Amino acid sequence: MGLNLFMSIVNVVYMRRYATFAALILIALIFPASIYAWQNSQIVSSEKSSIIALNFLKNAPTFMFDGIEDSIKIIKVSELEKYPTLYIVQIGFSCRHSGYGDRTGQNLLQVISPHLLIVHIENNRVLKAEIDGKWNEISQTPLYTQQGAEETALIFLFECTTFKFDGITTSIKLLKSAPLRMLYTWEVTYEFQCEHPGYGRYKLLTQKITTHTIRVVVTEGKVIQAIVDNVWDEINQKYVLDDTKPIREPLTIETARDIALKYFVTKFKISYVLPQEWAIKNLTPDKILGYQAIQYSSGPWRVTIKNSIVLYPTYDVTVDFMTVKGIFLHLTVDQKGNVTEKK
Protein backbone atom coordinates (compact mmCIF):
# COMPACT_ATOMS: atom_id res chain seq x y z
CA MET A 1 0.00 0.00 0.00
CA GLY A 2 2.79 2.37 0.99
CA LEU A 3 4.76 1.52 -2.16
CA ASN A 4 1.75 2.14 -4.39
CA LEU A 5 1.16 5.55 -2.81
CA PHE A 6 4.80 6.47 -3.29
CA MET A 7 4.72 5.49 -7.00
CA SER A 8 1.54 7.55 -7.54
CA ILE A 9 3.19 10.64 -6.10
CA VAL A 10 6.24 10.12 -8.33
CA ASN A 11 4.00 9.80 -11.42
CA VAL A 12 2.13 13.03 -10.60
CA VAL A 13 5.36 14.97 -10.10
CA TYR A 14 6.78 13.56 -13.33
CA MET A 15 3.66 14.42 -15.35
CA ARG A 16 3.62 18.00 -14.04
CA ARG A 17 7.27 18.52 -14.93
CA TYR A 18 6.64 17.08 -18.39
CA ALA A 19 3.62 19.37 -18.94
CA THR A 20 5.60 22.43 -17.78
CA PHE A 21 8.51 21.53 -20.08
CA ALA A 22 6.16 21.03 -23.01
CA ALA A 23 4.46 24.38 -22.34
CA LEU A 24 7.82 26.16 -22.31
CA ILE A 25 8.77 24.59 -25.64
CA LEU A 26 5.41 25.63 -27.13
CA ILE A 27 5.83 29.24 -25.94
CA ALA A 28 9.36 29.33 -27.35
CA LEU A 29 8.02 28.25 -30.73
CA ILE A 30 4.99 30.54 -30.80
CA PHE A 31 6.44 33.80 -29.40
CA PRO A 32 8.84 34.64 -32.30
CA ALA A 33 6.11 33.86 -34.79
CA SER A 34 3.75 36.17 -32.90
CA ILE A 35 6.31 38.98 -32.88
CA TYR A 36 6.80 38.55 -36.64
CA ALA A 37 3.05 38.51 -37.24
CA TRP A 38 2.58 41.67 -35.12
CA GLN A 39 5.35 43.51 -36.96
CA ASN A 40 3.97 42.39 -40.30
CA SER A 41 0.45 43.49 -39.32
CA GLN A 42 1.83 46.97 -38.45
CA ILE A 43 3.33 47.28 -41.92
CA VAL A 44 0.08 46.16 -43.54
CA SER A 45 -1.94 48.60 -41.39
CA SER A 46 0.26 51.54 -42.42
CA GLU A 47 -0.10 50.65 -46.09
CA LYS A 48 -3.80 50.02 -45.68
CA SER A 49 -4.25 53.42 -44.01
CA SER A 50 -2.74 55.07 -47.09
CA ILE A 51 -5.17 53.17 -49.30
CA ILE A 52 -8.11 54.16 -47.09
CA ALA A 53 -7.02 57.82 -47.20
CA LEU A 54 -6.68 57.72 -51.01
CA ASN A 55 -10.11 56.14 -51.40
CA PHE A 56 -11.57 58.77 -49.11
CA LEU A 57 -10.03 61.59 -51.17
CA LYS A 58 -11.20 60.24 -54.52
CA ASN A 59 -14.78 59.82 -53.27
CA ALA A 60 -14.95 63.11 -51.35
CA PRO A 61 -16.90 66.08 -52.84
CA THR A 62 -13.89 68.42 -53.25
CA PHE A 63 -11.88 66.02 -55.42
CA MET A 64 -14.91 64.53 -57.20
CA PHE A 65 -15.94 68.00 -58.38
CA ASP A 66 -12.77 68.84 -60.32
CA GLY A 67 -9.80 66.97 -58.87
CA ILE A 68 -6.80 66.18 -61.09
CA GLU A 69 -5.97 62.46 -60.86
CA ASP A 70 -2.29 62.84 -61.81
CA SER A 71 -1.73 65.43 -59.09
CA ILE A 72 -2.36 63.02 -56.17
CA LYS A 73 0.71 62.33 -54.07
CA ILE A 74 1.09 60.78 -50.61
CA ILE A 75 3.43 63.16 -48.81
CA LYS A 76 3.75 61.52 -45.39
CA VAL A 77 2.28 58.77 -43.20
CA SER A 78 2.76 59.14 -39.44
CA GLU A 79 1.90 56.79 -36.57
CA LEU A 80 0.81 58.10 -33.20
CA GLU A 81 2.03 55.90 -30.34
CA LYS A 82 -1.26 54.95 -28.74
CA TYR A 83 -3.62 52.01 -28.76
CA PRO A 84 -5.23 51.52 -31.14
CA THR A 85 -2.65 53.09 -33.44
CA LEU A 86 -3.67 56.38 -35.03
CA TYR A 87 -2.36 56.93 -38.56
CA ILE A 88 -2.08 60.45 -39.97
CA VAL A 89 -1.88 60.49 -43.77
CA GLN A 90 -0.97 63.68 -45.66
CA ILE A 91 -1.94 63.79 -49.34
CA GLY A 92 -1.22 66.55 -51.84
CA PHE A 93 -3.58 67.08 -54.79
CA SER A 94 -4.84 69.81 -57.12
CA CYS A 95 -8.23 70.94 -58.44
CA ARG A 96 -9.11 72.89 -61.57
CA HIS A 97 -11.01 75.62 -59.70
CA SER A 98 -10.88 77.49 -56.42
CA GLY A 99 -12.90 76.50 -53.35
CA TYR A 100 -13.88 73.33 -51.52
CA GLY A 101 -16.63 70.71 -51.60
CA ASP A 102 -19.31 70.47 -54.29
CA ARG A 103 -19.15 73.93 -55.89
CA THR A 104 -21.96 73.45 -58.41
CA GLY A 105 -23.54 76.80 -59.29
CA GLN A 106 -20.84 78.86 -57.56
CA ASN A 107 -18.75 81.59 -59.19
CA LEU A 108 -15.29 80.02 -59.30
CA LEU A 109 -11.84 81.08 -60.40
CA GLN A 110 -10.57 78.83 -63.20
CA VAL A 111 -7.12 78.33 -61.72
CA ILE A 112 -5.17 75.22 -60.73
CA SER A 113 -5.50 75.12 -56.93
CA PRO A 114 -3.05 72.93 -54.96
CA HIS A 115 -4.37 71.47 -51.69
CA LEU A 116 -3.18 69.43 -48.71
CA LEU A 117 -5.51 66.83 -47.21
CA ILE A 118 -4.73 65.49 -43.74
CA VAL A 119 -6.60 62.32 -42.78
CA HIS A 120 -6.71 60.67 -39.33
CA ILE A 121 -7.37 56.92 -39.44
CA GLU A 122 -7.95 54.54 -36.52
CA ASN A 123 -9.12 50.93 -36.77
CA ASN A 124 -9.39 51.41 -40.55
CA ARG A 125 -11.91 54.25 -40.04
CA VAL A 126 -11.53 57.90 -41.10
CA LEU A 127 -11.97 59.98 -37.95
CA LYS A 128 -10.93 63.37 -39.29
CA ALA A 129 -10.22 64.90 -42.71
CA GLU A 130 -9.21 68.53 -43.23
CA ILE A 131 -8.10 70.38 -46.36
CA ASP A 132 -5.58 73.24 -46.11
CA GLY A 133 -6.44 73.68 -42.44
CA LYS A 134 -9.62 75.47 -43.56
CA TRP A 135 -12.22 72.89 -44.63
CA ASN A 136 -13.77 69.88 -42.88
CA GLU A 137 -14.17 67.37 -45.71
CA ILE A 138 -16.35 65.05 -43.58
CA SER A 139 -18.98 67.57 -42.49
CA GLN A 140 -18.47 69.76 -45.60
CA THR A 141 -18.19 72.90 -43.50
CA PRO A 142 -15.48 75.52 -42.94
CA LEU A 143 -13.23 74.91 -39.95
CA TYR A 144 -13.74 78.54 -39.03
CA THR A 145 -17.35 79.44 -38.16
CA GLN A 146 -19.19 82.45 -36.80
CA GLN A 147 -19.84 80.68 -33.51
CA GLY A 148 -16.13 79.88 -33.23
CA ALA A 149 -15.29 83.54 -33.89
CA GLU A 150 -17.64 84.60 -31.09
CA GLU A 151 -15.96 82.17 -28.70
CA THR A 152 -12.49 83.38 -29.74
CA ALA A 153 -13.53 87.00 -29.19
CA LEU A 154 -14.99 86.14 -25.77
CA ILE A 155 -11.78 84.41 -24.67
CA PHE A 156 -9.82 87.45 -25.84
CA LEU A 157 -12.11 89.72 -23.80
CA PHE A 158 -11.59 87.66 -20.64
CA GLU A 159 -7.80 87.82 -21.07
CA CYS A 160 -7.42 91.43 -22.26
CA THR A 161 -5.86 94.00 -19.94
CA THR A 162 -8.85 96.33 -19.71
CA PHE A 163 -11.20 93.58 -18.56
CA LYS A 164 -8.72 91.54 -16.57
CA PHE A 165 -7.97 94.48 -14.28
CA ASP A 166 -11.50 94.95 -12.90
CA GLY A 167 -14.02 93.55 -15.39
CA ILE A 168 -17.42 92.30 -14.19
CA THR A 169 -18.00 88.84 -15.66
CA THR A 170 -21.79 88.88 -15.28
CA SER A 171 -22.03 92.09 -17.34
CA ILE A 172 -20.78 90.58 -20.61
CA LYS A 173 -23.34 90.67 -23.39
CA LEU A 174 -23.03 89.78 -27.09
CA LEU A 175 -24.32 92.77 -29.09
CA LYS A 176 -23.47 91.90 -32.68
CA SER A 177 -21.71 89.30 -34.77
CA ALA A 178 -21.34 89.65 -38.54
CA PRO A 179 -19.09 88.32 -41.32
CA LEU A 180 -16.68 90.63 -43.13
CA ARG A 181 -15.72 90.37 -46.78
CA MET A 182 -12.38 88.77 -46.00
CA LEU A 183 -12.64 84.96 -46.05
CA TYR A 184 -13.25 83.35 -42.61
CA THR A 185 -13.42 86.76 -40.93
CA TRP A 186 -16.02 88.11 -38.50
CA GLU A 187 -16.47 91.25 -36.44
CA VAL A 188 -17.84 90.45 -32.98
CA THR A 189 -19.06 93.16 -30.60
CA TYR A 190 -19.45 92.60 -26.85
CA GLU A 191 -20.67 94.92 -24.11
CA PHE A 192 -19.08 94.69 -20.66
CA GLN A 193 -18.59 96.67 -17.48
CA CYS A 194 -15.58 97.50 -15.31
CA GLU A 195 -15.43 98.78 -11.75
CA HIS A 196 -13.28 101.80 -12.67
CA PRO A 197 -13.12 104.22 -15.62
CA GLY A 198 -10.22 104.01 -18.07
CA TYR A 199 -8.54 101.49 -20.37
CA GLY A 200 -5.78 98.93 -20.12
CA ARG A 201 -3.46 99.61 -17.20
CA TYR A 202 -4.49 103.27 -17.13
CA LYS A 203 -7.43 103.00 -14.74
CA LEU A 204 -8.66 105.80 -12.50
CA LEU A 205 -8.75 105.18 -8.76
CA THR A 206 -12.31 106.48 -8.55
CA GLN A 207 -14.63 103.49 -8.26
CA LYS A 208 -17.40 103.90 -10.79
CA ILE A 209 -19.15 101.19 -12.80
CA THR A 210 -18.26 101.95 -16.42
CA THR A 211 -19.89 100.33 -19.47
CA HIS A 212 -17.75 99.58 -22.53
CA THR A 213 -18.13 97.97 -25.94
CA ILE A 214 -15.34 96.08 -27.67
CA ARG A 215 -15.25 95.31 -31.40
CA VAL A 216 -13.11 92.26 -32.10
CA VAL A 217 -12.12 91.17 -35.62
CA VAL A 218 -11.39 87.45 -35.85
CA THR A 219 -9.86 85.89 -38.97
CA GLU A 220 -9.13 82.17 -39.26
CA GLY A 221 -9.50 81.78 -35.50
CA LYS A 222 -7.11 84.62 -34.62
CA VAL A 223 -7.84 88.09 -33.23
CA ILE A 224 -6.32 90.72 -35.54
CA GLN A 225 -8.06 93.82 -34.17
CA ALA A 226 -9.78 94.79 -30.91
CA ILE A 227 -11.09 98.32 -30.32
CA VAL A 228 -12.77 99.42 -27.07
CA ASP A 229 -15.33 102.24 -27.24
CA ASN A 230 -13.97 103.25 -30.66
CA VAL A 231 -10.98 104.92 -29.01
CA TRP A 232 -8.72 102.28 -27.44
CA ASP A 233 -6.59 99.71 -29.26
CA GLU A 234 -6.66 96.77 -26.84
CA ILE A 235 -3.99 94.78 -28.69
CA ASN A 236 -1.40 97.57 -28.80
CA GLN A 237 -2.56 99.20 -25.54
CA LYS A 238 -2.85 102.74 -26.88
CA TYR A 239 -5.40 105.21 -28.18
CA VAL A 240 -6.20 104.58 -31.83
CA LEU A 241 -6.01 108.25 -32.84
CA ASP A 242 -4.62 111.45 -31.34
CA ASP A 243 -6.26 112.39 -28.04
CA THR A 244 -9.43 110.35 -27.65
CA LYS A 245 -11.28 111.16 -30.86
CA PRO A 246 -13.59 108.34 -31.88
CA ILE A 247 -12.82 106.33 -35.00
CA ARG A 248 -14.71 107.69 -37.99
CA GLU A 249 -16.83 105.21 -39.90
CA PRO A 250 -14.79 103.86 -42.83
CA LEU A 251 -15.89 104.43 -46.40
CA THR A 252 -17.42 101.11 -47.52
CA ILE A 253 -16.71 99.31 -50.77
CA GLU A 254 -20.30 99.89 -51.93
CA THR A 255 -19.98 103.64 -51.33
CA ALA A 256 -16.70 103.67 -53.25
CA ARG A 257 -18.45 101.88 -56.13
CA ASP A 258 -21.25 104.47 -56.25
CA ILE A 259 -18.78 107.38 -56.09
CA ALA A 260 -16.82 105.89 -58.99
CA LEU A 261 -19.99 105.40 -61.05
CA LYS A 262 -21.17 108.98 -60.49
CA TYR A 263 -17.75 110.24 -61.52
CA PHE A 264 -17.88 108.01 -64.61
CA VAL A 265 -21.32 109.15 -65.86
CA THR A 266 -20.43 112.79 -65.21
CA LYS A 267 -17.12 112.55 -67.07
CA PHE A 268 -18.57 110.80 -70.13
CA LYS A 269 -21.98 112.56 -69.97
CA ILE A 270 -23.90 109.30 -69.92
CA SER A 271 -27.65 109.50 -69.31
CA TYR A 272 -27.95 105.79 -68.53
CA VAL A 273 -29.78 105.08 -65.24
CA LEU A 274 -27.45 103.59 -62.65
CA PRO A 275 -28.39 100.08 -61.45
CA GLN A 276 -30.12 99.49 -58.12
CA GLU A 277 -29.26 95.78 -57.94
CA TRP A 278 -25.95 94.06 -58.63
CA ALA A 279 -24.66 90.53 -59.14
CA ILE A 280 -21.61 90.15 -56.92
CA LYS A 281 -18.62 87.91 -57.70
CA ASN A 282 -15.64 87.35 -55.42
CA LEU A 283 -12.43 87.42 -57.48
CA THR A 284 -10.06 87.17 -54.52
CA PRO A 285 -7.43 84.46 -55.20
CA ASP A 286 -7.30 81.54 -52.76
CA LYS A 287 -4.76 81.69 -49.92
CA ILE A 288 -4.35 85.47 -50.33
CA LEU A 289 -4.82 87.13 -46.96
CA GLY A 290 -5.31 90.83 -46.28
CA TYR A 291 -6.63 91.57 -49.80
CA GLN A 292 -9.90 91.31 -51.69
CA ALA A 293 -11.18 91.72 -55.24
CA ILE A 294 -14.95 92.07 -55.83
CA GLN A 295 -16.77 92.44 -59.15
CA TYR A 296 -20.23 94.04 -59.44
CA SER A 297 -22.27 93.34 -62.60
CA SER A 298 -25.59 94.75 -63.82
CA GLY A 299 -26.64 95.11 -67.45
CA PRO A 300 -23.76 96.70 -69.38
CA TRP A 301 -21.94 97.72 -66.18
CA ARG A 302 -18.92 95.89 -64.77
CA VAL A 303 -17.26 97.42 -61.72
CA THR A 304 -14.21 95.66 -60.27
CA ILE A 305 -12.87 96.88 -56.93
CA LYS A 306 -9.63 95.78 -55.24
CA ASN A 307 -8.37 96.83 -51.83
CA SER A 308 -6.29 95.81 -48.84
CA ILE A 309 -8.17 94.60 -45.76
CA VAL A 310 -7.40 97.49 -43.44
CA LEU A 311 -9.57 99.83 -41.42
CA TYR A 312 -9.34 102.71 -43.93
CA PRO A 313 -8.53 101.29 -47.37
CA THR A 314 -8.05 103.14 -50.65
CA TYR A 315 -10.11 101.41 -53.32
CA ASP A 316 -8.71 100.58 -56.75
CA VAL A 317 -11.73 100.72 -59.11
CA THR A 318 -12.16 99.69 -62.74
CA VAL A 319 -15.42 100.68 -64.46
CA ASP A 320 -16.47 99.03 -67.73
CA PHE A 321 -19.55 100.34 -69.63
CA MET A 322 -19.91 97.53 -72.19
CA THR A 323 -22.12 99.04 -74.85
CA VAL A 324 -21.48 99.21 -78.60
CA LYS A 325 -19.01 102.00 -77.88
CA GLY A 326 -17.50 100.44 -74.80
CA ILE A 327 -15.95 102.86 -72.30
CA PHE A 328 -13.35 101.95 -69.70
CA LEU A 329 -12.01 103.90 -66.73
CA HIS A 330 -9.44 103.03 -64.05
CA LEU A 331 -9.38 105.14 -60.89
CA THR A 332 -8.95 105.15 -57.10
CA VAL A 333 -11.32 106.30 -54.37
CA ASP A 334 -9.85 107.25 -50.99
CA GLN A 335 -11.53 107.41 -47.59
CA LYS A 336 -12.55 111.04 -48.12
CA GLY A 337 -14.31 110.13 -51.36
CA ASN A 338 -11.67 111.75 -53.54
CA VAL A 339 -11.38 110.25 -57.04
CA THR A 340 -8.06 109.99 -58.87
CA GLU A 341 -7.82 108.68 -62.43
CA LYS A 342 -5.07 106.17 -63.22
CA LYS A 343 -3.43 105.76 -66.60
DSSP 67: B
pLDDT at 38 over 90: no
pLDDT at 26: 54
Residue 13 clears pLDDT 90, i.e. is over it: no
**What average pLDDT does range 11-28 have in this prediction?**
53
Q: Over the stretch 149-161, which tens digit does the pLDDT of each residue have? A: 999 999 999 999 9
pLDDT band at 40 (very low <50, low <70, confident <90, very high): very low
How far, in Å, are 73, 184, 243 from residue 287 at the CA level?
21, 11, 38
CB-neighbour burial class of residue 147 (10 A; exposed 0-12, middle 13-18, buried 19+): exposed
Structure confidence by residue, pLDDT tens digits, 197-243: 889 877 766 678 999 999 999 998 899 999 999 999 999 888 887 54
Say whether pLDDT at 37 is over 70.
no
Predicted TM-score (pTM) of the model is 0.47
Please give the average per-residue pLDDT across 29-46, as a whole number. 50
CA angle 120, 146, 157 (to 5 degrees): 105
